[in-house]
Structure 1
Amino acid sequence: MLSQDDLKSAEKFSTKTHLFLSLNNLAPTPVNYSVGYIYVSKNHQQLAQAIDQKSHDNKPIDTAFIEEMFNQYLSNSNSIQHDILEPFFASLTDTLQRIDHQVTNDQQLSNNLEKVSSALVKLDNHHSVQDIVSYLISSIKSSHQQHQSLSKKLEKTSSEVNQLKNKLQESQQEAFLDSLTGLLNRRGGEEKLKELALEDQHSSLMIDIDLFKNFNDKFGHFIGDKVLQRVAKVIAESVDKEDLTMRFGGEEFLVVLVNKAKSEASLIAEKIRHAVNSLKLKQRQTKITLPPISVSIGIAEVEEDQHWDDLFKRADDALYRAKNTGRNRCVVA
């Protein structure tokens, strides 16, 4: 819920935004409005510098440029919805409600005047009054039509705002996922970790594909990517829905097993290791079967860690020991 101060601040910046759009002959679409609002409110230094530089170079600030600014600086911003779209949507909703209320009042008044007009028709000595009533009815009907037209335009804008909110949510989801494997990337993992309490009982798996470079060197990066995808699929299918699985970098994966002790984590790690080792991959063109795939896994449980990185460091140290003692094995920290 927005406070009164939030709304007043939003109204102030909204006025400046409309001036910015007007000066640059830009339609007040949600994308244009969002970029303009962030610019006039000075909430994004890089965006402001880019627009100022454009003005300094006497180059047009057109729709294409605004779209570029939105995609580059705002499409993944978590603050866009709270700082811009919510106040904008609240203002639209309030305006629509006011218009609907006015339309209802106009309709009631028009109905009452129609009754008065019908009554006056029956009287011969009230023509002047009847003319006034007829004029009022005509004016109210015209006002009613204008309100309906404005209401439709505002409803269209409201729909565009909702579409923009959906677009932002999709962009944020994409920004949190690794495009190759579909798992969380490091940024996405960091966001999800904010929802967990470190003091609860969690365990971590640090997983690395053994001798992965050999797949790239011998079969090419396309096959290497397929290996990554298959291993990622095995990991995702081996854990629960509430657990976090992310591609930590290169051929390394990180799993946070939510509310699970290291004893259960060890069983899950062995399940993953065995499933990966059982994969059979064949090169489509040559029909050559790839060498067996294996992973080494380090396991750690939350102890008195101050940060998630402390937990991950112990899991990584255990992974290092697994690598140094023969690979294709799980080691508990």
Structure 2
Amino acid sequence: MLHLILDREAADRFAALTMTSLDELDLAPLPASYSIVFAYHAGQFPELATEVQAMLADPATATSQHCEAIYRRHFGSEPMLADYDETIRSLGRGVTEIADLLRTTSGHDRRFGVIGTELAALAGTADGAARNTLERICQELAALAQENRRLRAGVTERIEASTRSIARVSARFEVERARSRTDPLTRIGNRRCLDEEMHRHPLASLILADIDHFKRFNDSYGHKAGDLILVAFARILRQTAGSHGLAARFGGEEFAILLPDTTLAEATDVAERARTMLEGMAKITTKTGRSLSKVTASFGVAEGRAGEPPEALIERADRALYLAKNGGRNRVVAAVEAPA
């Protein structure tokens, strides 16, 4: 979320400057491009300003995709989720530290009692004013000990309540984070989830899969039937990916499997298993009793290289997928690796 502190006059001035800059860069005033250029002119985001300045200095880099990337880095949901996560963890650490402090002072009540007993014994041997003073000190010490116990009990109760509250918030946060990484229809990972895991596993092998003639299928049977096919294919991909792989919906009828610590040959075997499982799948029947025609998919496979950005791995897998589709569909093609 973009937060700016502006008055109306300043907002109007920055809006005019933003439109001028977008015209100079030949960019449409889309949400991402408008937001980052507006924030740049507002001058309240120094890290963002550096990136926008570089784009203004080299208009050839000013593309909608570049603007989307800048926007996601600074104002997208992931930075907010990360901040939120750290805030929850920080609160938890603070409550734990207070609880630890209380535990370290748990023996103070006993110490107060020992001192009170010693002073009472001393008072029994004293005379006159000294005795009165010692008795008064004993009474005040007993009152302090009682107040200390009351305060400790209150703080302990608040800590327990705060701990329960933080646990509830943390659980809700984890649910929302999982939801933000899950495709709502197929219940496998979404593109965001795939991108994150590709950055975590740069040497993983990637399988891209595309359901053959899916548009024709949708036109013939309707979108509800198409959704049934997407869900069924996602289930097959999740099964073939196994516990160490990630199945994700790449977009539309295109899917992906990311396989860490897997060679190109091994990943190709995984893709072939998924292909044959889909090809051999029993016919799907809609609620109306209509049987759907057989469904097949094409697969492209590539293996990650050291120092290669995720985009390059996706591009190589996508080229292999293109060859599979143009080679007759319902087949697996592995990317041709350049010789060492």
1:114–1:137: 8 Å Cα contact kept in structure 2? no
What is the aligned residue count? 266
User: TM-score by structure 2 length?
Assistant: 0.68
Tell which deviates more after alignment, 211-220 or 137-146. Answer: 211-220
In the aligned structure 2, how far is the partner of 1:282 from the partner of 1:74?
A: 38
In the aligned structure 1, how far is the partner of 2:219 from the partner of 2:270?
A: 31
Q: Where do 1:102-181 residues align within 5 Å?
A: 102-114=105-117, 116-117=119-120, 120=123, 126=131, 129-181=134-186
Query: CA-to-partner distance for each residue in 1:208-265, whole Å, 9 max, x for gaps?
Result: 0111123322332222111111101111111232222211000001122223222222
Instruction: State whether structure 2 residue 302 is matched by structure 1 residue 300.
Output: yes
Could you say which residue in structure 1 is the equivalent of 2:192? 187
Relative to structure 1, the CA distance from residue 81 to residue 203 in structure 2 (aligned partners, 3 Å threshold; closer, same or farther) is closer
Relative to structure 1, the CA distance from residue 89 to residue 303 in structure 2 (aligned partners, 3 Å threshold; closer, same or farther) is closer
Relative to structure 1, the CA distance from residue 155 to residue 48 in structure 2 (aligned partners, 3 Å threshold; closer, same or farther) is farther
In the aligned structure 2, how far is the partner of 1:310 from the partner of 1:228?
A: 26
2:194–2:258: 8 Å Cα contact kept in structure 1? no
SS at match of 2:207: strand
Which letter maps to 2:276? H
- Unmatched runs of 5 consecutive residues or more in structure 2: 9-75, 336-340
- Unmatched runs of 5 consecutive residues or more in structure 1: 1-44, 54-71
Pick one of 220, 223, 229 that aligns with 1:221. 223
Query: CA-to-partner distance for each residue in 1:20-73, whole Å, 9 max, x for gaps?
Result: xxxxxxxxxxxxxxxxxxxxxxxxx724659x99xxxxxxxxxxxxxxxxxx96
Q: Where do 1:1-333 residues align within 5 Å?
A: 46-47=2-3, 77-82=81-86, 84-114=87-117, 116-117=119-120, 120=123, 126=131, 129-198=134-203, 202-302=204-304, 306-333=308-335
Q: CA RMSD in A?
A: 3.0
SS at match of 1:296: strand
SS at match of 1:292: coil
1:262–1:299: 8 Å Cα contact kept in structure 2? yes
In the aligned structure 2, how far is the partner of 1:305 from the partner of 1:318?
A: 21
2:298–2:330: 8 Å Cα contact kept in structure 1? yes
Relative to structure 1, the CA distance from residue 247 to residue 74 in structure 2 (aligned partners, 3 Å threshold; closer, same or farther) is closer
In the aligned structure 2, how far is the partner of 1:157 from the partner of 1:210?
A: 54
In the aligned structure 1, how far is the partner of 2:243 from the partner of 2:224?
A: 29
1:207–1:295: 8 Å Cα contact kept in structure 2? yes
In the aligned structure 1, how far is the partner of 2:125 from the partner of 2:152?
A: 33
In the aligned structure 2, how far is the partner of 1:109 from the partner of 1:303?
A: 68
Which letter maps to 1:90? R
Which letter maps to 1:134? Q
Relative to structure 1, the CA distance from residue 304 to residue 86 in structure 2 (aligned partners, 3 Å threshold; closer, same or farther) is closer
In the aligned structure 2, how far is the partner of 1:100 from the partner of 1:213?
A: 66
In the aligned structure 2, how far is the partner of 1:248 from the partner of 1:138?
A: 68
2:300–2:317: 8 Å Cα contact kept in structure 1? yes
Over the matched positions of the two proteins, sequence identity in percent amounts to 25
Relative to structure 1, the CA distance from residue 105 to residue 278 in structure 2 (aligned partners, 3 Å threshold; closer, same or farther) is same
Relative to structure 1, the CA distance from residue 90 to residue 331 in structure 2 (aligned partners, 3 Å threshold; closer, same or farther) is closer
